[in-house]
Structure 1
Amino acid sequence: MVKSSYNESLIELLDTITIQLDRYAANFIFLFGVVGNVLNIFVLSQRTFRSNSCAWIFLASSFVNLISIVSGLITVMIGGWTTNPANTIGWICKLRAHIVFSTRTIAPWLIVLATIDRWLLSSINAIRRRKSTLKNAQRWTAVIIILSMLLYAQMFYCYEANLTDTPLQCYDKTAVCRYLTDLSFGGIAVVAPLMLMILFGLLTIINVRETQHRVQSLTRGNSACGTSRSSIATSGRSQGKSTHRTQHSLLRMLFVQVAVLSILTVPLSLDRFYSTFSSDNGSAVNIAINSFIYNAAILLYFISNGMPFYIYTMCGGSVFHKALYDFLFMMKRKLMLTLLNSSVCCN
């Protein structure tokens, strides 16, 4: 009797916490993510970045993250106050699931593409460097989007509304569907991208070091030949410092990107793997605990969709900072001109 009462209290507590998270945490993440991605879109759309393949990939990623946040969190926020339409209306459930899972897969693979682009661009091999083009970035972005959408096409069959004894009412309706969704998401949308980010990030750092060694060797060789010795020495030192700063920035960006994505996306992947291979479908308490963990992991994942702008601001260096400053200054000037024109018209 005491145990039954304890279980009921625990279930009620977990349900209450979940509702509060949907009401308040989801609203904060929505605002945080939408503002960050909109600013990213405006900054990366400026002339400074238009012809840069890596910046274009980051721009596309910002659009994808914005779509993921808007499509995924609006129904969650509604569910915090009233009935979540995705839980009760079949076509909304299916469409939301497909968009959210597709964008969750597209976003990390675009970061992988950007990491590969940096690796190509930093290579001492001229053939590899020539592959880092805006056209190639756009082509592979289209490939990633199409494949990701096809990967989750089964959502239109598998996901169903008004389910019971599942973490969400809008969820996979059969065990086969759950295995397919959980394994494809955990392996393809989380684990594989993180491993490739680390791999190509490290290869990029190796390329930077090789370039630095070549510059230093060339500088020493020119000095030995007595060719403009002082000017070459000065140029070598400045190039060495610039290369060192670039290498340090790459290390920092790699660490921050991989660390943030790991912290925020791996919990949902682990939860999906656990639910796939766990044989404990169990009691109402286990269902409530699994549902709470799943909802919390989803919110963490949405935070990762809103983080890129803040990562670029911290680690993007003077170029991104200047572009952000120029955009804010331009908006301020336009606002001042609008107010001034309004004042003149009124007078």
Structure 2
Amino acid sequence: MSSIDVKISQINSATAIIVLVILCIAFAIGSIGLIFNVIVFTRPNLRREPCSLYFLSSTFFNLFFVFVIIPVRILSNSFNISMSNYNAGLCKIEIFAFYSVRSISCWLVAMACIDRYLHSSANANIRRFSSLKTAKITIASIIIIILILYTHMMFLSYIYVILVYAFYSLFPSCLMILFGCFTMNNIRKRRQIVSVLNENHRIIQRTDNQLLRMLVAQVLVIIITTLPQTVYQIYASLTMNLVKDTLRIAQENLANKTSGGMTYFCHSTSFYLFTLSGSIFRRELYKFISQCCHVNRTRVNIFRSEMNQMSTLTKNRKLTGIKNTLVRQS
């Protein structure tokens, strides 16, 4: 084998290992964190917030991605067990689910950014659009629209990859940045207004600030993890007509798989971002863990008391039996 063949073999081996490691890490951290997301966002203090509803809905789609899509990708990429080997229809459904579920998750976060902008507006009429009813309608609309837009993947053999990744990463990221700037501008203007707030308003404002901080952390991770793959797809489309040698193809495949693997962390790390950036999220998580520990302690104490009662009854029966024996003997 020539040195170039050896180098190509090494690059291909490294690509396979990198993909497997990334997928396994994303599955491990996502399967734990996303379940905690559902628990925290369904607690009373957070489920009344429209922003929390967007986070919760995005979490459900991320759960599907982590527990269904990632295992399928591990089998196909690392063990050559692909659905296309058994049924072409299942393969198209998997591709449709892979792209649509990821897009829905990112677009729901983008809608959360718009909700924070509406909620932070000084105009009361605009603020009224930030409500649970509006959030439910928006979530249902996003799901339906994206599923319709991606339906062609189940019927056409050719996929417009640039459009798919632009709709998955580029467009939502632009919306997140745009409405994030608008929200910061609204907050800056509101801080200039000197007003006396009662304790209830302070608690609401503190919750809003924490949700905004959590949203900013999520947006930054989405942009950082999804844009490299979009950039690569644009590059691949621009150079698709160029003649490339096997070494360059292997290098580009490594870049493609690595940048594509980064997108998996966009859908599996939200719990850890929320825990680090939002004190209200940490507080609700701590309350849940404390309640679980309290229930377990209560069950243990009840079990111990029942065991003590049983042991006491057993001792009393033994003593009664001994006394009856002594009485008979006497």
Q: The TM-score by the shorter chain falls in which range?
A: 0.7 to 0.9
> Equivalents in 1 of 2:255, 2:136: separation in Å?
37
Say whether residues 1:58 and 2:19 are aligned partners: no
> Unaligned 5+ residue runs, structure 1?
159-172, 220-231
Q: 1:301 aligns with which of 253, 259, 263?
A: 263
Per the TM alignment, residue 247 of structure 1 is displaced from its structure 2 partner at its CA by 9.3
Aligned residues of 1:102 and 1:152 also touching (Cα < 8 A)? yes
Give me the whole-angstrom Cα distance separating, in 2, the residues matched to 1:106 and 1:61: 7
| Preserved CA contact (<8 Å) 1:264 1:303 | yes
Paired residues for 1:38-117 under 5 Å: 38-79=35-76, 82-89=79-86, 90-117=88-115
> 1:263 and 2:220 equivalent?
no
Which residue, out of 247, 252, 276, partners 1:290? 252
Select the residue among 130, 134, 137 that pairs with 1:136: 134
The verdict on how the C-alpha distance between 1:92 and 1:286 changes in structure 2, with shifts beyond 3 A counting, is farther
Q: Provide closer, same or farther for how the CA distance between residues 273 and 256 of structure 1 changes in structure 2, counting only shifts above 3 A.
A: same
Residues 65-94 of structure 1: CA deviation (Å, up to 9, x unaligned): 111222321023224653222352323321
Q: 2:121 matched to 1:123?
A: yes
State whether structure 2 residue 182 is matched by structure 1 residue 185. Answer: no
Deviates more, 1:48-57 or 1:272-281: 272-281
- RMSD (Å), alpha carbons: 3.0
5 Å-filtered alignment, 1:301-340, equals 301-317=263-279, 319-337=280-298
Secondary structure in 1 matching 2:80: coil
Matches of 2:265 and 2:295, distance apart in 1:
31
Who is 1:200 aligned against?
179
Specify the alignment match of 2:144 in structure 1: 146
Deviation at 1:286, TM superposition (A): 3.2
Correspondence for 2:317? none
The count of residues paired between Structure 1 and Structure 2 equals 304
Q: Are 1:14 and 2:26 matched, yes or no?
A: no
Residues 264, 81 of structure 1: CA spacing in aligned structure 2 closer, same or farther, 3 A cutoff? closer
Q: Distance in 2 between matches of 1:92 and 1:287?
A: 29
CA shift for structure 1 position 149: 1.2
Distance 1:342 1:295, change over 3 A: farther
Please tell me whether the aligned partners of residues 98 and 155 of structure 1 are also in contact (alpha carbons under 8 angstroms).
Answer: yes
TM-score between both structures, scaled by the size of structure 1: 0.78
User: Counterpart in 1 of 2:327?
Assistant: none
Which runs of 5 or more structure 2 residues have no equivalent in the other structure?
Answer: 311-330
Contact 2:12 2:254 in 1 (8 A): yes
Measure the CA separation in 2 of the matches of 1:336 and 1:113. 42
Structure 2 distance, partners of 1:188, 1:24, is 27
Deviations 1:230-284 (A, max 9, x none): xx6xx69xx99x97x7898688556533332222111111111122221236333
Instruction: For residues 26-48 of structure 1, give each alpha carbon's deviation from its aligned partner in whole angstroms, at most 9, with x where no partner exists.
Output: 11110111211111011101111
Alignment partners' CA distance in 1, 2:59 and 2:34: 5
> What CA distance in whole angstroms lies between the structure 2 residues aligned with 1:254 and 1:52?
13
Measured in 1, the distance between the counterparts of 2:248 and 2:221 equals 29
In 1, Cα distance between the equivalents of 2:246 and 2:217? Answer: 39
- SS of the equivalent of 1:154 reads helix
Q: Distance in 1 between matches of 2:250 and 2:29?
A: 28
Residue identity in the other structure for 2:225: L
Q: Distance in 2 between matches of 1:101 and 1:62?
A: 16
Q: Determine if contact 2:51/2:211 at 8 Å carries over to the other structure.
A: no
1:24 to 18, 21, 26: 21
Question: 2:321 corresponds to which residue?
Answer: none
251-260 or 126-135, larger mean C-alpha shift: 251-260
Distance in 1, Cα, partners of 2:211 & 2:38: 22
CA shift digits 1:206-228 (9 cap, x unpaired): 111222222x1xx5xxxxxxxxx
State how far apart, in whole Å, the 1-side matches of 2:141 and 2:289 are: 34
In the alignment, the residues of structure 1 paired with residue 70 and residue 107 of structure 2 have an alpha-carbon distance, to the nearest angstrom, of: 21
Q: Percent identity?
A: 26
Give the drift of 1:148. 1.2
Mapping 1:267-278, distance limit 5 Å: 267-278=228-239
| Contact 1:122-1:204 within 8 A present in 2 as well | yes
